Structure formats: C-alpha cells, structure tokens
C-alpha cells in the first residue's frame, strides 16, 4: 500500500503580524454554539493547538490539531508503546523534502469524546516538534478532523468538534468555499485538503491556492510552483539574527491578499531556499496558518470556512 500525503514536520518558523480586516463576526460567545461541548487545548508557542487523544482506548496522549495534514501521525515511541505493527509504506511530502514512513491502522482514535474507527496513521519521527515540546506524541490530521465541523477560537482558547451539523445554523459570516482537488482520483476519502482561492496584489488576477493550516504559524509559498515564480524571484534571504530553521527560508515581498470580498494588507510569506529534487510538485501554492485569524469555522459537510480577524 502506498499513497502520497502532504505533511510538514518542521519547527515553527516566524511570528507574523497581519493588518486587521473587517469580516462578519462569528457568534461571539466563549463556548461552543448549539450546546456542543467545548475542548480547552493548550497552545505551544501561541500557534500549535494541542489536545488529548485516546488511541485504541489508551491514553490520553498529546496531539497537535493540524488541518494542513491529511493523515494522522504519531511518533515511533508511541507506536512501540501501543505495540502497533507496520502495515505498509507511504510517501510524505513536506515543504522542502520527501520521505517514506510506515503506515498502520488503529482500532479507534478518540478526541473530545468523538471517535473514529479504523483510521490509518503514519509513524514518523517528530523530533523537531518534540524538541519544542516533548509531551507532544503525534499530529491529529484531516482523516480524523474531516468527520466533524470544527470551530477554533484563538481569542477564548477553545475548540469544538460537531458531527451533528448544529453549529452551522448558529454561525454567520461570509462563506469561503473550498476548492475541488486538481486530481480527485488521487484523493483518499476523509482526507480533503482545505484549500481556498485567494488573490495576491503582486500577481494580478491569477488565483493562488492556499491550504488552511492550523499546524504552523507562518504563511508559506512553495518553491517550484509556476504561479509563485514571479513572486519568488523577489524573495530575499533572512538576516543573520534568525534561527537555523529560519535561515532555510527566504521572505517574499509583502502582499495584499483578497479572500472573498475582504483584503488582508501587507502580509509576508516565506519560501524554502533549497528544495530536494525528488519532491513532487504541490497541488497547492502554499499554506495559510489559521492562527492569523481570531476564530474560524470549518464546515466539513458544507465544504466552506468562515473567518473572523484578530
């Protein structure tokens, strides 16, 4: 068994400041709408959302909530602890590299009292993430999250998972539809990429496809994508006073970004300085971290997102 998944096991890159924009507000309450039970996560470096999960009725274990990851990932130490056996291999594509990892299946995966049965997980070393926080044992990806509507509230520090559709009736705002995949025959059920169409001031009217990513704190443009080429030619290397991780990235001139009817002003994106030759061309043009918003509601069944700015 072999599939290709999008995965970014990289340390946090930079702190990004966006100009405030005005969008229709989500329901401004400090708990989940429609009586849905809330989850209080902990935040690592103010960007990574960490919640407890149970695997095969064991745990809890700390996992990052990552809308940008198509499949759930666990560290090898946890796989050994749970006595999980490999059942195949998958290819993992990161921002700048490609690797293979073991694939296995669980009996159950549970978070916030929500259970998904028989999900696949990838076993991969999470050393760079665990260097930031050794308590993190894995990444909760879209093959779990896509079974539910998801509300992330950074302002009040809670999130909601809803399988009933009740929250859809309570949340108002401009609905931004997710784009259909370019190659749907390659997509795996319950692994939808949360990709939206945006427009950059630096590329005219061309559509830019950005994947919503709750697992990072920096907007990224992929190297090698034709759409990005004009912008990336003007990218400049980071200075000498940045971390080792940041030195492998260059900064793109700030852009005004239009999402739906609204505009984010003066947004800095980053791009990898060097990319492995064997990395496949990405279907999307880059990543947009969800932490740049105050709250967002992702409707899995409705295939749309509603944003609220900071």
Q: Per-residue pLDDT tens for 264-290?
A: 888 889 887 765 555 556 788 999 999
Question: What backbone phi and psi angles, to 5 degrees, belong to 195?
Answer: -110, 130
CATH classification for the domain delimited by 4-168, as one of 2.40.70.10, 1.10.3720.10, 3.40.50.300, 2.60.120.260? 2.40.70.10
Average pLDDT over residues 96-117: 86
3-state secondary structure the chain: CCCEEECCCCCCCCCCCCCCCCCCCCCCCCCCHHHCCEECCEEECCCEEEEEEEECCEEEEEEEECCCCCCEEECHHHHHHCCCCCCEEEEEECCCCEEEEEEEECCEEEECCEEEECCEEEECCCHHHHHHCCCEEEEECHHHHCCCEEEEECCCCEEEEECCCHHHHCCCCCCEECCCCCCHHHCCCCCCCCEEEEEEHHHCCCCEEEEEECCCCCCEECCCCHHHHHHHCCCEECCCCCCCCHHHEEEEEEEEEEECCEEEEEEEEEEECCCCCCCCCCCCCEEEEHHHEEEEEEECCCCEEEEEEC
CA–CA–CA angle 22, 228, 207 (5° rounding):
50
Q: Is the pLDDT of residue 95 over 60?
A: no
Pair 302, 168: CB distance under 8 Å = yes
pLDDT attached to residue 40: 93
The residue behind tokens 């700015």 is 309
CATH 2.30.30.180 holds for 172-309:
no
CA 298 to the chain's CA centroid: 12
Question: What backbone phi and psi angles, to 5 degrees, belong to 52?
Answer: -80, 140
pLDDT over 90 for what percent of the chain?
51
Average pLDDT over residues 222-249: 60
245-257: pLDDT as tens digits: 445 678 888 889 9
Average pLDDT over residues 116-138: 93
- For residues 7 and 98, what is the distance between their CA atoms, to the nearest angstrom? 9
* Domain positions in the chain: 4-168, 172-309
Preceding amide of 60 cis, omega within 30: yes
- For residues 139 and 142, what is the distance between their CA atoms, to the nearest angstrom? 10
CA 263 to the chain's CA centroid: 21
For 153, residues 6+ apart whose C-beta sits below 8 A from its C-beta are 30, 159, 160, 294, 295
pTM of the model: 0.83
């Amino acid at each position: 068994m072999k599939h290709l998944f999008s995965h970014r096991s990289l340390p946090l890159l930079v702190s990004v400041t966006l100009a405030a924009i005005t969008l229709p507000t989500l329901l401004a309450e400090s708990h989940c709408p429609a009586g849905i039970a809330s989850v209080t996560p902990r935040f690592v470096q103010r960007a990574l959302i960490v919640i407890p999960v149970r695997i095969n009725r064991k745990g809890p274990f700390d996992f990052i909530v990552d809308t940008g990851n198509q499949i759930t990932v666990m560290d090898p130490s946890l796989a050994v602890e749970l006595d999980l056996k490999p059942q195949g291999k998958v290819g993992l594509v990161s921002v700048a590299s490609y690797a293979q990892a073991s694939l296995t299946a669980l009996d159950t995966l549970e978070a916030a009292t929500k259970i998904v049965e028989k999900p696949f997980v990838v076993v991969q070393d999470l050393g760079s993430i665990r260097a930031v926080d050794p308590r993190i044992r894995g990444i909760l990806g879209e093959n779990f999250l896509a079974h539910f509507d998801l509300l992330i509230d950074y302002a009040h520090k809670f999130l909601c998972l809803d399988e009933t559709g009740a929250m859809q009736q309570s949340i108002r705002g401009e609905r931004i539809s997710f784009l259909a995949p370019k190659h749907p025959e390659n997509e795996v059920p319950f692994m939808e990429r949360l990709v939206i169409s945006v427009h950059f001031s630096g590329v005219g009217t061309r559509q830019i496809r950005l994947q919503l990513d709750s697992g990072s704190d920096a907007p990224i443009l992929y190297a090698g994508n034709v759409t990005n080429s004009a912008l990336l030619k003007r990218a400049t290397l980071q200075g000498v006073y940045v971390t080792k991780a940041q030195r492998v990235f260059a900064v793109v001139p700030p852009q005004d970004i239009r999402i739906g009817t609204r505009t984010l002003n003066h947004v800095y994106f980053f791009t990898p300085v060097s990319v492995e030759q064997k990395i496949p061309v990405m279907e999307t043009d880059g990543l947009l971290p969800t932490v740049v918003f105050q709250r967002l509601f992702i409707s899995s069944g409705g295939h749309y997102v509603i944003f609220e700015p900071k």
